[in-house]
Amino acid sequence: VQLVESGGGLVQAGGSLRLSCVTSGFILTDYSIGWFRQAPGKEREGISCLSPIETKTYYSDSVKGRFTISRDNAKNTVYLQMDNLKPEDTAVYYCARLPTVQSMCYMESLDGWGQGTLVTVSS
């Protein structure tokens, strides 16, 4: 099982980025996928996930209305479109394979963590 994040970078406040999570070693449509982030000196937080069944989504209050999670099964890739970025979005972003509980993604990584991708938002 492998999940590799990319797409981070430096962006000004109000700008946009799209993160990609390329997956391999498992059938993407069998699992939920989530995005997490960890800011300097803070705990890792789950910010969004997408279930495989009925494509149900979850967004934390901190990103709701600004971030959009999506999946391209043909490319085995999950995306996180981030719009109207704020300085407080600065963090290392990680994707993870998640269990599905009662048709909904459950924000707990099944496989640990990869390298992540750094997003820096300047004011």
Please write the tens of the pLDDT for every residue from 39-82: 999 999 999 999 987 789 999 999 999 999 999 999 999 999 99
Q: What is the dihedral of CA 93, 98, 100, 105, to 10 degrees?
A: -10
Q: Which residues neighbour 76 within 8 Å (Cβ) at sequence distance 6 or greater?
A: 22, 23, 24, 28
Residue 9 has pLDDT above 80, yes or no: yes
Instruction: Give me the pLDDT at residue 53, please.
Output: 76
In whole angstroms, give the CA distance from residue 76 to residue 84. 27
In whole angstroms, give the CA distance from residue 13 to residue 65. 16
Q: Is 104 helix (H, G, I), strand (E, B) or coil?
A: strand
What 8-state DSSP symbol labels residue 110?
A: S
CA–CA distance from 35 to each of 68, 123 (Å)? 11, 23
Q: Using alpha carbons, select from 79, 90, 67 the residue that is nearest to residue 11.
A: 90
Backbone angles phi, psi at 81, to 5 degrees: -85, 125
